[in-house]
Amino acid sequence: MAQNPSLDTLVSLAKRRGFIYPGSEIYGGLAGTYDYGPLGVTLKKNIENLWWRTFVEERDDMYGVDAAILMNPKAWEASGHVSGFSDPLVECANCKKRFRADHLEDPNTCPGCGKQGTLGEARQFNMMFKTQIGATEDESATVYLRPETAGGMFVNFKNVVDSFHPKLPFGLAQIGKAFRNEIAPRDFIFRVRELEQMEVEYFVRPTEWEAAFEAWRQSMHEFAKAVGLPDESVHELEVAPEDRAHYSKRTIDFEFDYPFGRKELWGLAYRTDFDLSAHQAASGQSLAYMDEETKEKLVPHVIEPSFGVGRTLLAVLVSAYREDELGGETRSYLALNPKVAPVKAMVSPLLKNKPELVAKAREVRAALQKVHPAIAWDDNGNIGKRYRRQDEIGTPFCITVDFDTLGETPEQKDTVTLRNRDTGEQERLTIEEAGKRIRDALS
Ligand code: GAP
């Protein structure tokens, strides 16, 4: 069972153990940005790889793309983002701080300075970051950092159809950065200004949208489970028509029980033919799909499952965090699914000042790295401390090479101890058996 750690506990673990650091920290940070450290980037890549494998590689109806972040600004005009990708903003006349009008607890009280009646009228604030392309600096050079990865897939719909002639239904998938000038970034990596998304645009005949929506709904729940989120922490919210994005006719928010409340984790939207029709009208290029067999011509409709990488990673950490008593001591550990754990196993010589133990342990590590390269080495401090360090970063197995491995007890020659992270229990196994344990945990 997950143990609902506080956000402070996770922020401090993430910083201390090299998962996530505040962005540009030595300069005092930059609001809404975070940097992933060595363990964080591996955890993030493992989550992304699991997603890519599940939704692209293991399916015959999916096509991956990696589109440019900078796109022709006409694409964002057509998609409605230039005119409509905004949040309501209010400014306090006293402290000059700005807030999202729809997040205020009391619309008459400034959450910054506490004064009453100082918040001005709400105005719409467009969240797209602007920059300039090329050497000119006038309006004609304005481009946007993409606010969602979706756009890069809609503009490549025709390319993929022309290259691969897929049959409907089929989808495009992309993992990449998106940028939003959030008025109030908050809650660690939950709401940031530079984010990553894993998105699918799944193209269907208009009559098929409900079945596809339902299938994706199930697939999203299955992915939640696969990545390590317990069923009881993931909830669906049917988004009311007035709260849906401008392009959506139906949206379900997948919410997660974060330490700061139940909040949006992922979204599933029925975007109709809004995007392809809008890009077709604005670009003058036909984005109609022609069924080669029936000669039917149509603009496909779209089901869009959209996953935030950071929000997934945060939910994974929340779900994995545990505290218990082991050997009379309190310990904290991350019960990460081995598939996403940054380190799969740690190998250690019992004593680091015995060259024969060290040499054998190096040999064992090299053998296990043939199963998976992410096998750590730790010979620092006593063995109990090494175990605790690996527990805290979620390493499923610790393998120790001792004198019995060298043959001190002849029948135990070439065996090692394998310690299980979650139970703390140890077994004596051959090196091959230890490798099999790791392989089984990853399959
Ligand atoms: N293409 C659809 C789209 O972008 P969205 O609901 O605006 O829809 C999709 O975003 C997902 O991206 C969210 O469910 C969340 O996981 C993630 N996300 C959105 N804004 C974010 C932010 N400021 N910081 C972190 N993740 C964010």
Q: What's the full length of the chain, in residues?
A: 443
What pTM does this model have? 0.96
The reported pLDDT for the residue numbered 79 is 96
pLDDT at 44 over 80: yes
Testing ligand 1's pocket by substitution, the residue of 311, 313, 314, 316 carrying the most ligand atoms inside 8 A of its CB is 311
Contacts of 100 (CB under 8 A, 6+ apart): 87, 88, 89, 90, 183, 184
CA of 308 to the centre of ligand 1 (A): 6
Task: Return the bridge partners of 258, or none.
Answer: 261
Query: How confident is the model over 127-169, as pLDDT tens digits?
Result: 999 999 998 878 889 999 999 999 999 999 999 999 999 999 9
Residue 378 and residue 390 in contact, taking contact as beta carbons nearer than 8 Å: yes
Find the helix packing angle between 209-227 and 38-52, rounded to 10°. Answer: 140
pLDDT at 378 over 80: yes
Q: For residues 156 and 398, what is the distance between their CA atoms, to the nearest angstrom?
A: 46
The encoded tokens of residue 79 equal 């998609």
Q: For residues 68 and 10, what is the distance between their CA atoms, to the nearest angstrom?
A: 33
Task: Return the bridge partners of 330, or none.
Answer: 325
Query: How confident is the model over 315-339, as pLDDT tens digits?
Result: 999 999 999 999 899 999 999 999 9
Testing ligand 1's pocket by substitution, the residue of 36, 195, 237, 250 carrying the most ligand atoms inside 8 A of its CB is 195
438 φ/ψ angles, rounded to the nearest 5 degrees: -65, -45
Q: Is 329 helix (H, G, I), strand (E, B) or coil?
A: strand
The residue contributing the CA closest to ligand 1 atom 14 is 266
Q: Ligand 1 pocket: which residues have CB below 6 Å?
A: 148, 150, 180, 182, 191-192, 195, 197, 199, 264-267, 304, 306, 308, 310-311
User: What does the DSSP assignment read for 125-188?
Assistant: EE-PPEEE-SS--SGGGEEEB-SSTHHHHHTTHHHHHHHH-PPSSEEEEEEEEEE---SS-BTT
In 3D space, the residue among 127, 46, 48 whose CA is nearest the CA of residue 337 turns out to be: 46
The reported pLDDT for the residue numbered 137 is 79
